Structure 1
């Protein structure tokens, strides 16, 4: 790790008076040279005062939603490295060194993997465990990845990721969107196991299992057809066209046996289904071309930004030469 890099700790908060003081104090102890920002998302308690007393820079973000807060943070704050963490004291500050050391090896984002350690024993909400597995399976199958913890709120990323990432989500689905953004843009992202502890007694979660879970699934669905249009529309077209073909064959077999077409409405409907299926496939092909061009433009813009800003990963030449062959394998595989 180089000494000249600046580090910003980003803590979005809503009614975390009970825990925010300890979170700020812990990160001040672990990262004495970092600047700690607490963005108060219109809390009804003393979150801002407690955070300020603990030594954080406190700013107000009145538009409710974690995504809205992060959007403002990334616009306001400039640093070489960013640490994003929740203010509920569920993520130990001691693990930040492992995350940052891994980031300094040349990654664009490092995700704190809760699910490989203590999450399933510490978390007391069984539907959250099921939801994590469901979201992980959906993203890994759609984006050909091997992510273990898609929805972790503890992650670090570099300046390139922070300034290139356009936050579109408003609420708690923001972590899922960050992960999908990195996968789709071929950014270098990996995971590091971290410890997780449940909220202390008296601290309540703002995450709604069902409503926020539905938002996450809707986000995955939307990003799937936006970023993977050919598999999405190709599969949809294949199903619709296949049903139409099956119905048309039924009418044709009946015609071969009787010499009569008794189901003209069915024949017309099956023909329409086949046409819709073909249109869906060609729609996927056209959109896939645009999606590929968008990724190409992003890659070019990223390289231009790095060259213009002078921010280069602090990676030694020996490591750079063998980064794809050593212990940390990338989550993305170029698919």
Structure 2
């Protein structure tokens, strides 16, 4: 088992990968540097090997697939995950590693948004999107993570080996953040300087497509991690619509003794039944979620035992 593993997912990053690997070898000389190439068509693999990295491959396209492969294959006491585009400084890694090794942090978040991100990043819609996602996570999940979508993080062994990765693309960062919040993992924020990509290096993000994917992921995770609130909100909305439709019919009946709008009454009744059913579904799923959280605590316990066994 490695002491520190630096994980760099890459797709066509030959303009920057050699510098990124060299910087981390300088800052963390005892770390093992892994570059996972995701079907690059340029010289990423050759330059990563030249700089001293161990190069492996993931042939399913998408960052989520790459991270999934990394977490499955590599065992380490501390992991650093960083993009290969040279937008994050290697100098911050030592502090992030220390928080994992000495302060029992499960995930350390490299917080760009509190430093130079909004000055350096030249894509205004990315800035808006990051703020939107941070606000949604804060409201929906009550988390204190200051940069939800950063690609610079450190992890403990137990986080990596108990994190079920479902996302295939760039939603992976959002999934990591919400998993850590929901499972009460110890999360630390470290402010890191951010620099925009150097000239000639091209972002693989599609602002609107990937932004919409992240929002869909947030909604999906809200349904999974807080089903009572998710289905409860829909239930209340349906009940209110039903009530709005029912009240005029009730008033007419009180005044005349007649029910002239049977279709309205029937639709109102169906909506009320649907609202009750959704509330019941939310309660049932919330109970199942509580059991899953109990099982997850046992998974953490077994992961810690496994790590201690590897150390001995």
TM-score for the superposition, normalised by structure 2 = 0.97
Is residue 11 from structure 1 mapped to residue 11 from structure 2 by the alignment? Answer: no
**C-alpha distance after superposition, 1:137-177 (max 9, x if no partner):** 11111111122100000000011011111211100111011
Q: Pick the aligned partner of 2:146 from 148, 165, 181.
A: 148
* Structure 1, unpaired ranges of 5+: 314-335
Query: Distance in 1 between the 2:132 and 2:260 partners?
Result: 46
Let me know the Cα RMSD of the aligned residues.
1.5
Which residue pairs with 2:43 in the alignment?
46
Query: Distance in 2 between the 1:292 and 1:133 partners?
Result: 31
Which residue pairs with 2:113 in the alignment?
115
Is residue 62 from structure 1 mapped to residue 59 from structure 2 by the alignment? Answer: yes
Moved beyond 4 Å, runs of 4+: none
Shift of 1:5: 7.2
**What pairs with 1:266-277 in structure 2 (closer than 5 Å)?**
266-277=264-275
SS at match of 2:98: helix
* Structure 2, unpaired ranges of 5+: none
Which residue pairs with 2:69 in the alignment?
72
Contact 2:71/2:160, CA 8 A, preserved across alignment: yes
Contact 1:306/1:312, CA 8 A, preserved across alignment: no
How many residues align structurally?
310
**C-alpha distance after superposition, 1:194-251 (max 9, x if no partner):** 1100000110000000111111111111111111000010111011011102211121
TM-score for the superposition, normalised by structure 1 = 0.90
Contact 2:36/2:56, CA 8 A, preserved across alignment: yes
SS at match of 1:169: coil
SS at match of 2:218: helix
Is residue 23 from structure 1 mapped to residue 17 from structure 2 by the alignment? Answer: no
Contact 1:7/1:80, CA 8 A, preserved across alignment: yes
Over 3 Å counting, the alpha-carbon distance change for 1:73 and 1:5 in structure 2 is: closer
Which residue pairs with 2:220 in the alignment?
222
Which residue pairs with 1:292 in the alignment?
290
Is residue 248 from structure 1 mapped to residue 234 from structure 2 by the alignment? Answer: no
Which residue pairs with 2:255 in the alignment?
257
Query: Distance in 1 between the 2:176 and 2:310 partners?
Result: 21
Which residue pairs with 1:318 in the alignment?
none
Which residue pairs with 1:328 in the alignment?
none
Query: Distance in 2 between the 1:262 and 1:200 partners?
Result: 71
Which residue pairs with 2:173 in the alignment?
175
Is residue 100 from structure 1 mapped to residue 105 from structure 2 by the alignment? Answer: no
Query: Distance in 1 between the 2:303 and 2:208 partners?
Result: 40
Shift of 1:191: 0.9
Shift of 1:60: 1.5
Is residue 197 from structure 1 mapped to residue 207 from structure 2 by the alignment? Answer: no
SS at match of 1:266: helix
